[in-house]
């Protein structure tokens, strides 16, 4: 009788620190309490001048797995520090980890199982409970905070992940696990695109080939406090422009934010092509969004000549497709009317 042996996949954790002494010990304790212990913990410290490194060294002596400490002097800042940390990870699955959160005991076990049950995925992420600095519940879930609410979850699961991520990032890095092969493919992280950080880049590249998924199960506590660098925020479009301001502003002021969006998507398009090549179907979604933004930017100065291009975009459904998901039902029509009648 032949016994089939299942090889246990190996796990690395990439933990970035910077003056994190206040909450770091709790995070490390939660890693030590995992039902599936990691094979290694890579700590990349960004020039801390508090007790952060002392806490890590003490933990390293007690841990039942390898702990490697990398020190950046001068500091690399968040994105490049995570890039450094993951570059030092040697194992099949790489978990991103912040210095101030708290992992529930089955996070690694359940996320590894999640990935193994979906071998097409290269990135997976979990839900998280938002807590305050004392780990008291704020009665909010991270998926909701990044606007991955129930309608968007359904859209995502029906193949719309890339469309949603083009509106704004839904992946919080500390909830994510990635495959080693994917990590090697996407590095170095782009550093020339404003507002795009490492987790946004990770999500977009994985979604471009439909290889990213999430579980709604809460597997960690995402701590919110005054000293954190990013926190649970969604980069939206800011306050709505009032009607008076719409008609008082000049054409250049109206066009500026649209042009910035176009430049952002052009940069994303270029970077993804560098990694994945030109034959990715989802790339066309970026191109269509760029074409829509360009159509809005290049409207004729004479308003009567705008009727045809505005109607063309309206009939194609582009105003609805590319409006903010939280806009009122009439939002796409207001945008179209603005393009038609505003300066």
Residues 199, 78 share a domain:
yes
Q: Specify whether 269 is located in the same domain as 140.
A: no
Report if residue 153 sits inside a domain. yes
Percent of the chain beyond pLDDT 70?
A: 92
pLDDT of residue 184: 95
Return the pLDDT at 113. Answer: 98
Q: Are 183 and 47 found together in one domain?
A: yes
Same domain, 170 and 207: yes
- Spacing of C-alpha 34 from chain mean position: 24
50 domain-assigned:
yes
- Which of 223, 256, 276 terminates a domain? The answer is 223
Tens digits of residue pLDDT in 38-56: 999 999 999 999 999 999 9
**What's the start-to-end Cα distance of the chain, in Å?**
80
What would the mean pLDDT of 269-287 be, rounded to a whole number?
A: 94
* pLDDT of 18 strictly over 60: yes
Q: What is the enclosing helix (H) or strand (E) of 286?
A: helix 283-297
pLDDT at 328 over 80: yes
Structure token pair of residue 155: 């859209």
Q: With contact defined as beta carbons under 8 Å apart, do 313 and 295 qualify? A: yes
Cα 86 from chain centre: 16
Structure pTM? 0.91
Are residue 102 and residue 206 in the same domain, yes or no? yes
Chain centroid to Cα 115, Å, comes to: 18
- Examine residue 3 and state whether it is found in any structural domain, yes or no: no
The predicted structure's pLDDT at residue 144: 97
Domain range spanning residue 91?
A: 11-223
What is the average per-residue pLDDT within 163-190? 96
Is 302 part of a structural domain of the chain? yes
Residues 41 and 88 in one domain: yes
1 part of a folded domain: no
- In a domain, residue 23? The reply is yes
pLDDT computed for residue 92 by the predictor: 98
Provide the CATH number for the domain around residue 134. Answer: 3.90.550.10
What is residue 49's DSSP assignment? Answer: -
Encode pLDDT of 145-158 as tens digits. Answer: 999 999 999 999 99
State residue 234's pLDDT score: 44
Q: Does 193 lie in the same domain as 54?
A: yes
pLDDT tens digits, 58-71: 999 999 999 999 99
CA torsion angle 178 180 186 188 (round to 10): 110
How many domains does the chain divide into? 2
Average pLDDT along the chain:
92
Kind of pairing between the strands at 123-131 and 176-179 = antiparallel
pLDDT digits (tens, 9 = 90+) for 113-143: 999 999 999 999 999 999 999 999 999 999 9
DSSP letter for 171, please. Answer: -
191 part of a folded domain: yes
User: Which of 165, 195, 223 is the last residue in one of the domains?
Assistant: 223
Do both 110 and 216 map to the same domain?
yes
């Amino acid at each position: 009788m032949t016994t089939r042996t299942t090889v246990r996949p190996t796990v690395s954790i990439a933990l970035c620190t910077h003056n994190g002494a206040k909450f770091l010990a709790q995070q490390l304790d939660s890693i030590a309490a995992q039902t599936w212990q990691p094979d290694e913990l890579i700590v990349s410290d960004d020039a801390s001048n508090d007790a952060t490194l002392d806490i890590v060294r003490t933990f390293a002596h007690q841990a039942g797995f390898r702990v490697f400490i990398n020190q950046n002097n001068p500091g690399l800042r968040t994105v490049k520090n995570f890039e450094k940390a993951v570059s030092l990870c040697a194992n099949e699955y790489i978990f991103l980890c912040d210095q101030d959160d708290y992992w529930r005991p089955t996070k690694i076990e359940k996320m590894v199982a999640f990935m193994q049950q979906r071998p097409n995925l290269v990135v997976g992420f979990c839900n998280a409970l938002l807590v305050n600095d004392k780990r008291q519940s704020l009665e909010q879930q991270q998926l909701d905070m990044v606007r991955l609410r129930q309608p968007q979850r359904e859209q995502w699961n029906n193949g719309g992940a890339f469309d949603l991520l083009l509106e704004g990032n839904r992946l919080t890095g500390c909830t994510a696990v990635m495959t080693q092969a994917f990590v090697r493919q996407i590095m170095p992280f782009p550093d020339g695109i404003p507002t795009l950080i490492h987790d946004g880049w990770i999500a977009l590249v994985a979604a471009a080939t439909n290889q990213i998924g999430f579980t709604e199960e809460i597997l960690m506590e995402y701590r919110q406090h005054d000293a954190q660098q990013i926190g649970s925020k969604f980069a939206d479009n800011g306050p709505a422009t009032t009607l008076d301001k719409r008609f008082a502003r000049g054409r250049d002021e109206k066009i500026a934010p649209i042009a910035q969006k176009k430049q952002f998507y052009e940069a994303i398009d270029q970077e993804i092509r560098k990694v994945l090549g030109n034959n990715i179907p989802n790339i066309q979604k970026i191109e269509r969004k760029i074409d829509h933004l360009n159509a809005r930017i290049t409207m004729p100065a004479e308003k009567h000549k705008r009727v045809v291009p505005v109607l063309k975009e309206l009939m194609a459904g582009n105003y609805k497709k590319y409006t903010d998901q939280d806009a009122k039902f009439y939002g796409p029509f207001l945008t179209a009317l603005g393009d038609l009648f505003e300066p």
